[in-house]
């Protein structure tokens, strides 16, 4: 389950067009991070609408879900920004966002924008055998990796799925010893070498700053 389900807005009371309020439509996997950045910068005019994080298990459904959410809330906000990267939609999400006239966060996926898109692209030739986890995926490893891949029922499938990977890279958004320990255990369970890399919030901050200034 996600921290914030669809149709849950992190604001109190109704919002009206012309009020200067901005809506952020985000993956539920980013809820904690988006709210943390919002608090750190006192961007009180930003409201957050999260779609279910498990849409990432069905990337062909992301574009339609975002489009429905934009149309549902468009009349109530000065502007809408989409805090998804491409996320496996094959360019469809960007095309739809352009058609709807809403801004979308650049990058192929959250592993890239947390690291910083330029930095991530600079590593791509040497890290094609890396498996990435973020804070959210470490917390939800069983729900989003282990069980959906059937490894709880068929552990013998591990090497078939992960035999071509060499290491697990934990992109840490926060400094949390408990998450560090859990991420290292995830690497052990997958039979991979472990690397922790503190990224903070990366280009998510840039995307939210652009949204915050869109008044």
Give the residue from 83, 108, 91 showing the smallest Cα distance to 33. 83
Whole-number Å distance between alpha carbons of 183 and 190: 11
Buried b (16+ CB within 10 A) or exposed e, 156-185: eebeeebeeeeebbbbbbeeeeebbeebbe
Question: Which residues lie closer than 8 Å to 72 by C-beta, 6 or more apart?
Answer: none
What is the per-residue pLDDT for 2? 35
- Assigned CATH topology for domain 22-108+202-212: Rossmann fold (3.40.50)
Write down the pLDDT at residue 129: 97
Q: How high is the pLDDT of residue 4?
A: 39
> What predicted TM-score, i.e. pTM, was given to this entire model?
0.88
Q: Which residues belong to CATH 3.40.50 in the chain?
A: 22-108+202-212
- The residue ranges of the chain whose pLDDT is under 70 are 1-19
The per-residue pLDDT for 23 is: 98
């Amino acid at each position: 389950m996600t921290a914030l389900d669809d149709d849950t807005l992190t604001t109190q009371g109704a919002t009206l067009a012309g009020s200067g309020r901005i809506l952020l439509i985000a993956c539920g996997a980013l809820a904690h991070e988006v709210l943390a950045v919002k608090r750190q910068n006192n961007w009180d005019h930003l409201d957050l609408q999260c779609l279910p994080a498990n849409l990432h298990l069905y990337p062909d459904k992301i574009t339609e879900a975002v489009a429905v959410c934009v149309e549902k809330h468009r009349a109530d906000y000065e502007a809408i920004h989409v805090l998804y990267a491409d996320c496996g939609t094959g360019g469809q999400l960007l095309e739809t966002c352009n058609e709807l006239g809403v801004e979308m966060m650049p990058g192929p996926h959250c592993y890239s924008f947390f690291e910083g898109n330029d930095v991530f692209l600079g590593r791509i030739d040497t890290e094609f055998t890396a498996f990435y986890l973020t804070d959210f995926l470490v917390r939800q490893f069983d729900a989003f990796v282990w069980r959906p891949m059937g490894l709880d029922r068929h552990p013998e499938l591990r090497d078939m799925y992960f035999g071509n990977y060499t290491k697990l890279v934990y992109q840490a958004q926060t400094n949390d010893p408990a998450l560090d320990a859990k991420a290292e255990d995830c690497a052990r369970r997958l039979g991979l070498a472990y690397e922790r890399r503190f990224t903070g919030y990366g280009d998510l901050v840039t995307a939210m700053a652009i949204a915050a200034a869109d008044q």
